[in-house]
Structure 1
Amino acid sequence: MTRFHHKAHAEKQSREMFVEATLEATGSVDNGFNLKDSEALYLGYFSSDMFEHQGHTSAMMADALGINPIPATRVEAACASSGAAVNMGIMAIASGLYDVVLVGGVEKMRTLGTGEVTDTLAMAADVSYEAAVGFTFPGLYAAIAAAHFHRYGSTWEQLADIAIKNHDNGKLNPKAQYQQSILEIANK
C-alpha cells in the first residue's frame, strides 16, 4: 500500500503507485508470492480516463508489473471500484476459472482542479435524477445523513464520533491520508 497523501505522490503516475504497492504487498506474504503466478488482474480504478487522461489502465498495470499476457480488467464502480474488484477476484477463484489472481486499486485525483474533480465524481451520480437537481456527493451524503437521523433517531454527535474514530485510527497508520486527531486539527 502506498501512503494516501497527495504530496507523497505529486510526481507519480497511478501506474507507479500501483507497482509500488503491489511489490510491497507481495514482499509481505509469509511464504512468498511470485507475481508470475498471477493468472488475471482485477484493477479498481474509477476514472483514469478523466484524472490521468489514460484508458486501458489494467493492461498497462499488468505490463508495468511484468505479468503480461494475462487477462487484465479495470473495474469501475465509483467509490466501490476496488471493493468490486476484490469481489470479482473472489468470484474468479471460487468459480474455478483461476487459482491465483492479483487484485488492487488506485485512484489519483489531484491531477485536476476542485471543479473538475467535482464534475468527474458527479459522473457517478444518476444524471437523470441526482445531477439534474444539482446534487453533488457532499449534498447527497448530507441528505442521506438527514434521512438516517429521521428514520433511526441518530444524531450529529454520533456521526461526529465516526470521524473522531477514523482520525484516531489514522494516527496509528503510517500510510493513512490523515494522521492527526480531530483535536489536533482543531487546535492548529
Structure 2
Amino acid sequence: MILPIVAYGDPVLRKKAEPITPDYPGLDELIENMFETMYGASGVGLAAPQIGRSIRLFVVDATPFADDEDLSEAEQERLKSFKQPFINPEILEETGDEWAFNEGCLSIPGVNEDVFRCPNIKIKYQDADFNEHIEEFDGLLARVIQHEYDHIEGVLFTDKLSSLKKRIIKNKLGNISKGKVNADYRMRFPDIKLR
C-alpha cells in the first residue's frame, strides 16, 4: 500500500526517532509499504518519519543509480543489487574528505541543493529479521544512507545548507508546508487544516 509522504514543516520530521523491537506491530507489512511508497515517488530511500512514524527505520534501494556512467563498474554492480531495510541503525564512523552532491528529498519536493558529506561510513544496524550487522559503505550508497539516517535523527538536508541558501529557499519551504507544491505522489501537509 502506498502511504502519503509527510511534507516539510511537520513536527514528526524534527523528532529523534525511537528504537523498535522485533514485536513492533505489522513491521514486515510496514517495510513492504515503505518500499512501495518509495518506488511510487521515484525515490531511492525513505525513512519512517517521512510516513509519520517516529521510529528508527529506513529503507534504501539504490538501483536507479546503477546506470550512472560516472561510477566505477564495481560501484555500479554494488548499487544494482542493493535493497535493504535498516532497523535501529547507528552510524559509528564517517570518514574521508567531504564531497558535494545534489540532493533532494521526497518530503521537500522541488528543492535540490548541493550537500557536503563524508564519502565513507561504518554503520551498525539490524535487518528485517533483527540480525545485527556492522558494515562499511562508500560513495553514493553511503550518501543515501547518511541522508536517510539524518531523518531518524530529526535532521533534514536543508539544515546542512549555508545560511544564504536557507534564505533563498525559505519561501519555497513555507509553500511546501502549506501544500503549494506539485508532487506526483500522495503527500500530507502540516499547514492544511481539514474541514
TM-score by length of 2: 0.28
**Structure of higher RCO (CA pairs closer than 8 Å, 6+ residues apart):** 2
Q: Which has the higher helix share?
A: 1
Q: Which has the higher strand share?
A: 2
Bigger Cα Rg:
1
TM-score by length of 1: 0.29
